[in-house]
Homo-oligomer: A and B are copies of this chain.
Amino acid sequence: MRLLDYDGTLLGAAPMGVEKAQQAMRLMLLSRATDERFIKLQRMGRVGIYGPVHGQEASVIGSAMALDPARDWMVPASREHLAMHVQGLPLSSLYATYLGRIDHAAVPEGVRLLPRQQAIGAQLPHATGLAWALKLQRLRGAVMVYFGEGAASEGDFHEAANLAGVIRAPLVMVLINNQYAISTPAHRQSAAPNLAARAVGYGFRGIPVDGNDLFAVHAAAREAVERAVAGEGPTLIECRTYRIGFHNTSDNPREYRPDSEVEDAAERDPIDRLRLWLTSEGAWSPKVEAEAVAQVATEIDAAIADVNAQPRPGAEAIFKHVYAELPYRVEQQRRDTVTRKEDVCP
């Protein structure tokens, strides 16, 4: 499925107005600028590890914008940073994870969002269960869950999708096929040319979309959310995109893929494509872009400053939230750790 051609030509009905598309454009710029900033901070030793979204912005933003944050839930994997912000997570809470302020990073009360997941695929059954809970309680709403084509090889994917089919859960599964799981190319991940087709095996709909086409992603996601809310069950959307960046800041993709492949992919950049369309609509210009970029930088600065103003967690933090109430021995350990005040962390 494609709605915006490589050159920005609209191939069907636009699923959003110009204003919303401008907003999407700003979010994609914010996403890319976040990547750049955190890679820089990582190189400076201020961030442990960071995985960029570069190249996948249309998949991430286009889908996230299809949710109603007051009604729907989002279950992220680990690379959909800005989607979490779209869903209502303040930018400074988003950044706090990378800057070591774990309590500030927590999802605030009222934001329908689960934390990031580092165990590939493990969030999928949670999303099914959450969607099931909505259904059992007759709550209107859908759950959108993100995962990669690598995650789609895990047993958790299969079990979560199959269960979702059986209970007709209001679930939207967004598979972001960025062609790589670390160094493993998609064709070594599965012999299936079409991962969306897996949905047939679970009794629901699967839609492959051009993941670099914000409109296609958004239209597919919006329809899937509507169907979920209407009680028509789950949908699997495969967003076909490309991870232009490295897997994360410890990775060097030159060890496993040719530059030419990346250059090719860069020509299908999702931001360029939307920019072309917006420009052709008279709704974007170099000047507007310059303003947007400046504003994004200011937002990032402010959010980082906000995080840096938060106290660094101390020893106490490792005992907090392990249990509602600490059992005897763990309480002893807490006291030992805290009273010794060996605050050995930086």
Contact = CB atoms under 8 A, between A and B. Distances in A.
A289 to B, nearest CB: 41
A189 B203 contact: no
Interface string A200-235: 111110000000000000000000000000000100
Contact of A192 (B156, B165, B189, B192): B165
Interface in A149-166: 153-159, 162, 165-166
Interface string A224-258: 00000000010000000000000000000000000
A195 interface: yes
Contact of A191 (B168, B189, B192): B168
Contacts of A286: none
Contacts of A188: 166
Nearest to A156: B155
A194 B155 CA distance: 20
18 contacts: A153-B159, A153-B162, A155-B155, A155-B156, A157-B158, A158-B158, A162-B191, A162-B192, A166-B188, A168-B191, A190-B203, A191-B233, A192-B202, A192-B203, A195-B201, A198-B198, A198-B200, A201-B201
